[in-house]
A = this chain, B = another copy of it.
Amino acid sequence: MTSQFEIIYALDLLGTVAFAASGALAGVRRGMDLLGVVVLGIVTATGGGVVRDLLLNDTPPFCFKNELYLYLALAASIVVFLTPRSFERMNRAMLLLDALGLGTFLVIGTSKALNYHLGFMGAVIMGVMTATCGGLIRDTLSNEIPLILQREIYASACAVGGALFYLFYRLGLPSEVNLTVSAATVIAIRCTAILKGWQLPRGKVL
């Protein structure tokens, strides 16, 4: 049992590093200075969970209770600042790590929302926000329309995973099985979408 939660925690930390690296890279690309890169890295890595904890009123948010998240995001951002090219080259590995983080953050957020007795929409939204709000703030601060709003199967993979988690939860599936299956579903959808180039339909241009 415990080992299951330890795996989730390990994936959570790994996802934090991957998200911080993606935020820091966005900062380097925009010509930001060291502090800007660090801020963008930390915000991308922790922003989703912070927004979730604010909405659930669990304060101070998770990363202020366990500063390991902040130190990891700080370290990852500094490494990216010093050697951005090596991360650019590891593009495939980065996308995979990002997908791992996405699935992990989703199940953590949805699971926490259910502990706070939220309903179906609330649980799915909290999961999706945990997984995507960091990237959304990153893009807003970089003065871009958030990627998650415009292309690819990203937040929608999270929405599917969140709905699945809610269903299994109501069906009484053991928490550790549910966490694994739902996270794996998000990761699988996301990875397949990248490989196959899947996209959601767009609205008809007016």
Interface residue ranges, A against B (CB under 8 Å): 27-37, 39-40, 42, 50, 54-57, 59-61, 64, 67, 70-71, 74, 81, 84-85, 88, 116, 118-122, 125, 136, 140-146, 148-151, 155-156, 159, 199-206
Given that A55-B61, A57-B60 are known contacts, is A32 also in contact with B119, CB under 8 Å in the complex? no
| Cα distance, A154 to B52, chains bound together (Å) | 29
A203 touching B59, Cβ below 8 Å: no
Select from chain B the residue with minimum beta-carbon distance to A157: B35
Copies of this chain, count: 3
- A138 to B: closest C-beta gap in Å: 11
A39 touching B84, Cβ below 8 Å: no
- A34 to B: closest C-beta gap in Å: 5
A121 touching B74, Cβ below 8 Å: yes
Select from chain B the residue with minimum beta-carbon distance to A74: B121
- Which of B84, B118, B144 is within 8 Å of A203, CB to CB? B84
